[in-house]
Structure formats: C-alpha cells, structure tokens
Structure 1
Amino acid sequence: MASTVPLMDDIEIGDDVDDTTSIKDDFAYHNNVAGAPKKIRMGFLRKVYGLLVVQLVLTTLIAGVCLFTPAVKTAVQANSWLVMVAFILSIGILLALHVNRHKTPLNLILLAAFTVVEAYTVGVIVSFFDKLVVIEAFFITATVVVGLTLFTFNTSKDFTKWGSALFIGLWVLIIGGTLNLFMGGTGFDLLMTIGGTILFSAFIVFDTQMIMEKVSPEEYISATINLYLDIINLFIEILKLVQRGN
C-alpha cells in the first residue's frame, strides 16, 4: 500500500506562497499532493510515472532475455535457487530504500538495484512459460493497467478508504498461497489466482488514487515502488490465468 508520510501533523494556511519558495516550503501549506500547487502536483506525477516507465522497460528487457535467449533460459532454470537469494536481496534493498528514500542520488541507485533484482525474479518465472502465453499476458496486463489508471484519474469515487480491506486481502492471499503449496488442489489454486488478479487490480486503483490525493510530494520513491509491485504481481496472476486458458 502507498506510504503516506506527512511533513506536519497540523498545517494552517497563511499568506500566499511566493513563486520562489521551495517545494518543502510550499508543502507546508498543503498536507497532500491534491492540495499542493499545480506545479508541484505535475512534477510529482512526472517523477512517479517517469520512474515507473523506466522500471517496467528494464523489467521487460531483462525478463525478455531470460525468455528468448536459450542459453540464459537454461541457466536461470538450472539455478532457480537464486530466486530465494533475489528475494532476500530485494527485502534488504527495500529496507535500505525506505531509510534513504529522500537522499538523491542514493535513492535512485537503490531503486535501480531493486528493479534489477525484481526483474531477474520475473525473468526466472516467465522462463518456465510458453513464449506466446507470456506475450499474451503482457498485453492483457498492459491493457488492464492503462484502463484502471484512466478510470482512477477520471472517477469521482473515493477508493482511498480501501486500505484496510486490501491489506487483509493481501494476508489472505499470502496464507492461501502457502496452504496451496501443501494442498495442491487445482480448484483452490484457480480460486487464489482469480482472487490475486482482482486484489492487485484493486491495489492499482487504490495506490493510484493515493498518489493523486494523499501522498506527500516527497514520497515519489515509495509511490513508484507501490505501483511497480502492483503491476508485477498483477502480471504474474494474469500469466497463470492465461496459462490455464491455453
């Protein structure tokens, strides 16, 4: 879920802000992106979606190499234990990124490292699927993400209150996925996959609206990571659904 870290608990609106005031000073008058001046809002959105596009392109390239290069595909499949190493690395990098998320360029370096580790994990996963299945899942995911983003940008409904329900749903999915490792039921696995697809679609709507209305302009790194993980997880769930369909 999106990270919301207000710079102040109580903010009183005073005199007009001078054009030369820094972003931090401007934000002292507005406790979230929605209340910030247009220049700050647009700059924040450009940062978030600019970084997100770079992450997704890098992930696509690395995963594509794992899928379409026979030697690499064989290597990653033969050393699938490295996925666990990548998982541990991603947790460590995320913790470091959280601590240093406001320190440029360290935050961008850590974000790049996190993206490479996640991209490798995705690459290992897609290497076990048929190429056409992966391509189909890619385009379905892209269509869903664009559609959900446009919907969220244009709707007047408030989805920012979904946080608690989505968090509970995520834990249900994690516990259910763990149980599925031992139960191995086809019907239960399908149910979990459908549930995961719906859950991460809802997370995209929630996190997009949080970015538009609730998050501090300084939290562009956290906002980018949230959307990136939403999209990656949605892709994996759709990939499993497409595999079943074929």
Structure 2
Amino acid sequence: MSQWNQGGQYPPDPNQAYYAGQPGYPPPQPGYPPQGGYPTAPPPGGYPPPAGGYPPQAGGYPPPHGGAGFQQPPPYGGGDPYAGEHVPFSNNAGNYGGASGYGEDPEVKGFDFSDQSIRRGFIKKVYSILSLQLGITLAFICWFLYHQPTRVYVYHHIGLFYASLVLVFVALIALACCGELRRKAPANYIFLLIFTLAESFCLACTASTYKADAVAMAVGITAAVCVGLTLFAFQTKWDFTMMGGILFVAVLILFLFGIIAIFVHNKIFQLLYASVGALIFSVYLIYDTQMMMGGKHTYSISPEEYIFAAINLYVDVINIFMYILAIIGRARD
C-alpha cells in the first residue's frame, strides 16, 4: 500500500508528518490560496474568490477607508475618473457622491450648468461694457449739440474729425486682429477706451450737423429698435449665426453703394441707401447677439472674447443710429 492510501483515508490528515511535502497535495484550486496569505476578514462577495486570487493586504480585506491597498473599480464601469485615489469598494452611492456626483442622473447636468453660468456671466460683462460705451457716446452727442462754443469750434477745425477717424480705425484694427491684445488686461481696456472716445467724438461731430430734435428722435428710435431686436434674438428659434457670409457680402455691396451715393445727390437714392444700411445692421445686431449667447446656435464667441463681443454690438448700434439719423435728416430736407 502506498503512502497515499495507508489507513484508507483520503484526503489524508495534513497533521501527519509523513504526508508533508508530498507532490499533488493538497489538491490545487484556482486562485487559492491567495499569495501573501489568507484574508483576515471575509470578503463581501464570499467564497470562492475571483480568478487570480485575492490581492495581498497589509491591513485586512477590504482595506480601511483612506488606507493604502487594493483599489476596487467603482460600479459605474468604464475608466476610473479618480485613478490614483484609493477608494474602498461599496455599493453605497454616498461614497461616490451618488448619481448626481458623476452626472449619471439625466435630470442633473452639472457641466451644462457650469457652461450656462459662465455664459451668463459673459453676457452680463458684455452688456455692462456696452452700456458704458453708449453712455460715453450719448454724453459726447449731448455736449456737442447743446454747447454752442464746442459745436462752433469743431465745425471750424475739421482736422480733429479726421484725426479721430484715423484713431478709430487704428484702435479697431488692433483690437480685431490682435487676439492677445484684446484678452490681456489692462491693455484691452485702454484700447477699448481709446476706440470709444474717438468713435464718440466722430459721432458727435456728425450729429452736431443735424437739429437737436432730429437727433433726439433718432436716439429714441434706435433705442426702441435695438431693444426689440435684442429680445427677438434671445427668443427666436431661428439661427442667424449661419448668415455670416451673407452679411459680409451685403456689407461689401453697401460699401460700394455708399461710394456711389457720395456722387449722386438724389434724395430718393440716399433714402434708399440709408434704409438698406439700417436693415443690414439690424440683422447684424441679431447675428452678433446670438453669437454672444452661444448655446443652441451653430457658432458662438468664446467667453474670453468679451471685448470683441462688446465692440461688435457697439458698432451695430452706432451704425443703426447713423442710418436712422440720415433717414430722418433726408426726410426733413
């Protein structure tokens, strides 16, 4: 009789010394025993262990909260966004922040909320800058209209108008073409202030050639039109951000139309030119407003470009005012 079945006992008693070191005993089992010893506490999944055995633990299994050791993948599957952190496995969602913590709840949209908050802050900043620009421009217009010595001095020193016009184009090109300049404070605010003051001076010089009541009427109509178009841009389901190419071509045609209007002194022709210009820049105001809003629209402006967005809206409002003033002036002549 061999050593394996002496006494008829199988499996033999491991306490008997003559079975120690015998090959094939104890019978091997998949993943058992684990390397490094048996766990000091029963695992939550019970026995048998998973394929490959249990990993060794210094402080027992599962490891204590916050301690080094085995990292169980979270129950939501896929890649672990908290890679590198030792998080104990638990079916309790509170350890992971619940469904809303990972955005699994369709009613909770954390990232969308964050984007909307940034966009709302961006819109507030743009309209704050725009309000300050329009306030400065209105102050210049009132100053030139109701202060007769200033009005007469500017009328006899036309070079100031052309100098401010050159300054407008220099500041505008610098802000429009140099992305780092318009994003870096305080240089962006300095150039914006220079542009606003120069544009306000040019606009006040032009408005001073009209009667005060015509200018006041143009300001009121412009304010009503711009508020109405802004509300329309916020509420409409039509996406005007796809019309950038069409509007650019329309502005080029309007520019050529304006060159012709310089040499054609016809009241009907100039009324038509002013009306088309007011219409084009009204659509541009909707376009720029939706670009600033972002969200559901095809194209949008980055929240870092608040100076660029404010300049776009300011130029739209100023052009609408100028064309409406020209319509009122030509109608009264």
Determine if the TM-score, normalized by the shorter chain, exceeds 0.5.
yes
Residues 229 and 152 (structure 1 numbering): CA distance in 2 closer, same or farther, change over 3 Å?
same
Deviation at 1:108, TM superposition (A): 0.8
Distance (whole Å) between structure 2 residues aligned to residue 82 and residue 72 of structure 1 = 12
2:161 corresponds in structure 1 to 83
The answer to which structure has the higher helix fraction is 1
2:194 corresponds in structure 1 to 113
2:141 corresponds in structure 1 to 63
Residues 76 and 15 (structure 1 numbering): CA distance in 2 closer, same or farther, change over 3 Å?
farther
1:217 corresponds in structure 2 to 303
User: 1:197 touches 1:238 (CA, 8 Å); kept in 2?
Assistant: yes
User: 1:208 touches 1:227 (CA, 8 Å); kept in 2?
Assistant: yes
Residues 74 and 162 (structure 1 numbering): CA distance in 2 closer, same or farther, change over 3 Å?
same
Aligned counterparts, 1:12-27, within 5 A: none
Deviation at 1:36, TM superposition (A): 6.1
Counterpart of 1:168 (choices 235, 246, 249) is 249
Distance (whole Å) between structure 2 residues aligned to residue 221 and residue 135 of structure 1 = 28
Question: Which segments of 5 or more consecutive residues in structure 1 lack a partner in the other structure?
Answer: 1-13, 17-29
Output one character per residue of 1:10-56: Cα deviation in whole Å (capped at 9) or x when no partner: xxxx969xxxxxxxxxxxxx9xxx99612211110011000000000
TM-score for the superposition, normalised by structure 1: 0.84
1:146 corresponds in structure 2 to 227
Q: CA RMSD in A?
A: 1.9
Distance (whole Å) between structure 1 residues aligned to residue 226 and residue 232 of structure 2 = 10
Counterpart of 1:241 (choices 318, 324, 327) is 327
Distance (whole Å) between structure 1 residues aligned to residue 235 and residue 160 of structure 2 = 42
Aligned residues: 217
1:96 corresponds in structure 2 to 174
Q: Percent identity?
A: 37
Deviation at 1:140, TM superposition (A): 0.4
Counterpart of 1:43 (choices 104, 115, 121) is 121
TM-score for the superposition, normalised by structure 2: 0.62
Greater C-alpha radius of gyration: 2
Structure 1 position 226 matched with structure 2 position 308: no
Deviation at 1:199, TM superposition (A): 0.6
Report which stretch shifted further, 176-185 or 222-231. Answer: 176-185
Residues 230 and 59 (structure 1 numbering): CA distance in 2 closer, same or farther, change over 3 Å?
same
Runs of 4+ in 1 over 3 A off after TM superposition: none
